[in-house]
């Protein structure tokens, strides 16, 4: 169509420039700025000039290594054991603090360890909190993306039925989406509370008092799971609506045909509905993944990353360092790592779900 119109450079630029200029200024420039900053020692406020430091921010973040430690032995070569019969190992600190034999481990701290063939394998990293935040973020995405997408599809199928009053149910399922995640997070802090929390009381009621209450956000075992469940609850309606719009693009004649052929409900879903949802599925998964990687408000309101860093995330670390500790360059390096992960995962998702 454009070819039919006369070229009009002046009007074209004049109309596009305000919007395009703002996008350049506040999205594109900061985006490239992040790459640049991550190679410097920039601070939010500093009397010293900013210097180029190469990849040292990334080195600090990403340095990780496995340290193999032999158990301690006595003079006869017998492994020393404690009262419980466990082999005794020298402290990790003796390898990572000023040990001239192991300069590559200098300044590293233990992340976790496992035992293997009579030795201890200790994973050590310079920035253990970063690695924990990376692990937590990935665990969050790995659970929330598929579960939320599947539940949203289930809800979409439910509210796609032709029933009287179905619009009311659709409106209710969507409602949490318009409630701010910050409000939801504070509300759920009370619901998850260990003493008077609503969840403990409900579970105790449903199990006739068998369930013993717990402090959901106060324990490293349950805190991230509780946040996952809440996040799914809050946003599932959003994706239900996207699935629903996909469902409604599928031609009714296809359903008529499959019903004439005598297809079962499952067959109808498998061979009519699901193929018709391919594009929607790609969109839903990519959008959920991007949203999940951005996990911040829930953490900031509910746990501040604790207990024991069990809920800290990449964005939370970026904000805590960049804003809290004014370490802009360190935060920028985390942001770049986060962006590269998001980019590669969404490219991978596109590749896997590409049209065949």
- Name which of residues 317 to 356 contact other proteins (CB under 8 A): 318-319, 322-323, 328, 331-332, 335-336, 338-339, 342-343, 346
119 and 79 Cβ atoms separated by less than 8 Å = no
Q: Is the peptide bond before 39 cis (omega within 30 degrees of 0)?
A: no
Minimum CB distance to other proteins smaller for 147 or for 297:
297
311 and 192 Cβ atoms separated by less than 8 Å = no
Minimum CB distance to other proteins smaller for 45 or for 84:
45
Q: Does 48 bind other proteins (CB under 8 A)?
A: no
CA distance 134 to 64: 13
285 and 149 Cβ atoms separated by less than 8 Å = yes
Supply 273's token pair. Answer: 């509905």
What x-and-dash track marks residues 72-101 binding other proteins by CB under 8 A? ------------------------------
* Least CB distance to other proteins at residue 278 (A): 12
Torsion angle, CA of 182/184/185/189, rounded to 10 degrees? Answer: 140
Q: In 3D, which of 312, 308, 342 has the Cα closest to residue 324?
A: 312
* Least CB distance to other proteins at residue 136 (A): 15
* Least CB distance to other proteins at residue 88 (A): 43
* Least CB distance to other proteins at residue 89 (A): 40
Q: Is 243 exposed, middle or buried (0-12, 13-18, 19+ CB in 10 A)?
A: buried
* Least CB distance to other proteins at residue 200 (A): 9
155 and 240 Cβ atoms separated by less than 8 Å = yes
Q: Which residues contact 211 (CB under 8 A, 6 or more apart)?
A: 200, 203, 204
Which range touches other proteins (CB under 8 A), out of 13-21, 119-127, 138-146, 261-269?
Answer: 13-21
- Name which of residues 195 to 254 contact other proteins (CB under 8 A): 196-198, 201, 233, 237-238, 241-246, 249
* Least CB distance to other proteins at residue 163 (A): 7
Q: Does 4 bind other proteins (CB under 8 A)?
A: yes
Q: Does 158 bind other proteins (CB under 8 A)?
A: yes
For 342, other C-beta atoms within 10 Å of its C-beta total 18
Q: Does 163 bind other proteins (CB under 8 A)?
A: yes
Q: Does 179 bind other proteins (CB under 8 A)?
A: yes
* Least CB distance to other proteins at residue 217 (A): 14
């Amino acid at each position: 169509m454009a070819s039919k119109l006369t070229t009009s450079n002046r009007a074209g630029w004049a109309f596009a420039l305000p919007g395009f200029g703002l996008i350049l200024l506040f999205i594109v420039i900061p985006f490239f700025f992040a790459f640049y900053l991550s190679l410097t020692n920039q601070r939010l406020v500093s009397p010293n000039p900013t210097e180029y430091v190469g990849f040292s921010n990334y080195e600090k973040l990403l340095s990780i290594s496995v340290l193999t430690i032999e158990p301690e032995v006595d003079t006869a070569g017998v492994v020393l054991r404690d009262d419980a019969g466990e082999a005794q190992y020298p402290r990790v600190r003796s390898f990572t603090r000023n040990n001239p034999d192991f300069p590559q481990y200098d300044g590293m701290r233990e992340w976790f360890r496992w035992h293997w063939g009579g030795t201890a394998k200790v994973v050590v990293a310079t920035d253990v909190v970063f690695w924990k935040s990376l692990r937590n973020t990935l665990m969050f995405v790995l659970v929330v993306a598929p579960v939320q997408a599947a539940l949203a599809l289930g809800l979409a199928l439910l509210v796609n039925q032709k029933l009287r009053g179905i619009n009311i149910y659709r409106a209710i399922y969507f409602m949490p989406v318009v409630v701010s995640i910050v409000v939801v997070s504070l509300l759920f802090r009370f619901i998850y509370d260990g003493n008077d929390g609503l969840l403990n009381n409900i579970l105790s009621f449903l199990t006739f008092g068998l369930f013993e209450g717990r402090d959901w956000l106060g324990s490293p075992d349950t805190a991230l799971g509780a946040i996952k469940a809440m996040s799914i609850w809050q946003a599932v309606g959003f994706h239900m609506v996207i699935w629903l719009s996909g469902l409604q693009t599928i031609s009714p004649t296809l359903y008529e045909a499959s019903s004439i052929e005598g297809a079962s409900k499952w067959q109808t879903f498998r061979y009519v509905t699901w193929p018709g949802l391919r594009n929607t599925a790609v969109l839903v998964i990519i959008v959920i993944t991007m949203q999940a990687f951005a996990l911040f408000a829930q953490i900031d309101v509910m746990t501040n990353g604790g207990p024991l860093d069990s809920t800290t995330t990449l964005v939370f670390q970026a904000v805590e360092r960049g804003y809290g500790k004014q370490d802009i360059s360190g935060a920028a390096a985390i942001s770049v790592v986060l962006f590269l992960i998001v980019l590669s995962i969404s490219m991978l998702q596109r590749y896997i779900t590409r049209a065949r």
